Structure formats: structure tokens, C-alpha cells
Amino acid sequence: MVLALALKAELDGVTELRPSDTADTPFFYTFRVQCTSCRETHPNDVSFSRFDQTEVSGSKGEANFVWRCKNCKREHSASIKAAPTAYQQSDPPKMLTMLEFDCRGLEFTEFKAEGDFEAKGTDTATSFTAIDLTDGEWFDYDEKAGQQVSITGVQWEIRRA
């Protein structure tokens, strides 16, 4: 099953919002995860990066995230398909896919936006880093544009791709 993580947010003065996610400084994506065999939800949030590879039992290759469900004892895995797509500013804001996952036997049910995001000034290309979206909003000032910039109304959605 392919799942997509989608974002909708109001961007004012910034665009190209994305997780800071490179091989040197990987982003750790944090989720609530559920077993699709027995519907058990993992007691803790899980996080993994797209640069981590863990072996799947029985020579089934590798995945970014491997989880053995404590309830039904089955092993499940998930992998991020590609680098995240930057979210573009639009008015009104659109729900856009940022990331896609190949999921085997598990489903992500909730995304926790922990980690650093980055964006660019819409007209100035000013680079903003270490953007924290855990509160669902962010405010800063673009010196080049001489105006306040913000990200508000952050909504994450996990859906079937």
C-alpha cells in the first residue's frame, strides 16, 4: 500500500516549505503507527529517516522502518519512496503531497511535525531554516522584503496515494 503525507498551510511571504532532509542532516519523520493485520497501535511514536536502511527478516530486502507488532508478532516495514516535495505557497492554500511511503502490513495514522523545516522568501529568496512547526504555526521577519513572514493553519493528512 502506498500512503502519502500531505500538507495544507497558509504561507505568507514564504514558499517552498520542506523538511531539512539531506544525507548529512537527515530529517526524522515521526508517526503513530498501526498494524493492519491486527489493528494494534504501537504504544510509542516511531521515527525514521529515508537514509536509514534496516534489514527485513527472511531476505526480503531492506526498508527505512521495520516493526514487529507485539500483538500478532508479524513483521512490517515501510520505506520512503523519494525526497520530499517542497510545498508551494498558494491562495487559497491547497492540500499537497509532500512524501510517499511504501507500507507493508502497517499504516501511519498520524504525523508529528518534529524536526527542522526550511522555506524561501517568496520574492526575496531569503533562506529560512530551523522552522519549527510543532505548534502548527511559525513567524519570522524577512529583512530583504522588510515584512513579517508566517506559516499558519498547518494541517497534516495521511491518505492513500
Q: Which residues bind Zn ion (CB under 5 A)?
A: 35, 37-38, 40, 69, 71-72
Residue nearer to Zn ion on the CB measure, 17 or 35: 35
For residues 118-155, one letter each, b for 16 or more C-beta atoms within 10 angstroms of the residue's C-beta and e for the rest, the string is bbbbbebebebeebebeeeebebebeeeeeebbbeebe
Least Å distance, CB 43 to Zn ion, is: 12
**Identity of residue 122:** T
Least Å distance, CB 58 to Zn ion, is: 17
Residue nearer to Zn ion on the CB measure, 35 or 158: 35
For the four alpha carbons of 48, 54, 57 and 58, in that order, the dihedral sign comes to positive
Is residue 154 within a helix (H) or strand (E), and if so which, with residue range? strand 147-160
Residue nearer to Zn ion on the CB measure, 65 or 128: 65
Least Å distance, CB 159 to Zn ion, is: 22
Residue nearer to Zn ion on the CB measure, 72 or 98: 72
C-alpha torsion 44→75→158→160, nearest 10: -170
Least Å distance, CB 35 to Zn ion, is: 3
Residue nearer to Zn ion on the CB measure, 3 or 69: 69
Residue 55's nearest CA partner among 45, 42, 64 is 64
Least Å distance, CB 68 to Zn ion, is: 9
- Sheet bearing 96-104, strands edge to edge: 65-68, 75-80, 96-104, 2-12, 147-160, 138-142
